[in-house]
Amino acid sequence: MKKLNVLLVFVFFTFQIQFAQTQYKIENNPTNAMDIIINPFGMENPITIGTLSKSGDIQIDFPKELKNISKDDKESMSSELWYTLFSNCNNASEMVAEKDNIFSFKAGNLSLSNKDNPYAGVIFTVSNEDLIPWIEDPGYMEPVLESYFELIYVAKPFQYQGSCESGRMLDDYKEIEITYNFNLNLKAGFNFIEYKIESIYKTDPDVMASFPDKVTITNTEGIPDCKWIANYFYN
């Protein structure tokens, strides 16, 4: 009996630890509860993926099925896998075999919505909030060696390991090579992708902003354990 009680206590605390690790909280609380939505097919067709409580607790609950997606949206170029994953690459359209070019899409911003304001704010998912200014304005703000996260959807599981290059032209017509390294093991449905900035090409800030020239791209296991920071437009 004593061993059983010890085992039960161990299981209880293990469960508590695991449960605590799955709680995600916004860094700056809203004044009202809100829905977390994405608008990959326009603001008239929002997809609810979770909620944000008044206390700042985040609950992610991806829909089991996607509704009200038009045939045109499903068949558009931006809903092809090569575009969703590799649009930054020089040879993007060649990186996915035709048989693997499944329906997929980038979720775009994680937006906040309530009954009074369909677009009440946006959530940034980053390893460090110092990266947010660059995310908002990469043309003028400086990046830092941190990670940001994006949400994508794929209709079927997909795996990919490899790299690609993309050219960035400077004002003096010098082209800089940007390298993207991929290690992806995507499950069917929604996946969070981490973009880790490994290296930055430093420029003259009076001419143009610096930019990442080496980025590692991997999927996270479930919801990313990172900073969730909201920018509220209305409350």
Nearest residue to 215 (alpha-carbon basis) of 187, 186, 183, 174: 183
What was the pLDDT predicted at 13? 45
What was the pLDDT predicted at 11? 42
What was the pLDDT predicted at 206? 87
Determine, yes or no, domain membership for 41. yes
The Cα 39–Cα 41 span in angstroms is 5
Three-state secondary-structure class, residue 163:
strand
Nearest residue to 219 (alpha-carbon basis) of 132, 161, 164, 135: 161
What count of Cα atoms within 13 Å lies in the side-chain half-sphere of residue 15?
A: 6
Domain range for 59 is 24-232
Tell me the pTM.
0.87
What was the pLDDT predicted at 166? 96
Determine, yes or no, domain membership for 96. yes
Determine, yes or no, domain membership for 154. yes
What was the pLDDT predicted at 15? 39
For 121-162, what is each residue's pLDDT tens digit? 999 999 999 999 999 999 999 999 999 999 999 999 999 999
84 phi/psi in degrees, rounded to 5: -60, -45
The Cα 47–Cα 66 span in angstroms is 8
What was the pLDDT predicted at 133? 97
Determine, yes or no, domain membership for 8. no
The Cα 78–Cα 85 span in angstroms is 10
Determine, yes or no, domain membership for 13. no
What are the residue ranges in the chain where pLDDT is below 70?
A: 1-22, 234-235
Determine, yes or no, domain membership for 206. yes
Determine, yes or no, domain membership for 39. yes
What was the pLDDT predicted at 234? 64
Cβ-proximal residues to 24 (8 Å cutoff; 6+ apart), any chain? 57, 58, 60, 223, 228
Determine, yes or no, domain membership for 15. no
What was the pLDDT predicted at 22? 57
What was the pLDDT predicted at 88? 93
Cβ atoms within 10 Å of 25's Cβ, excluding its own: 13
For 73-91, what is each residue's pLDDT tens digit? 999 999 999 999 999 999 9
Give the chain's domain count: 1
Nearest residue to 111 (alpha-carbon basis) of 235, 29, 232: 232
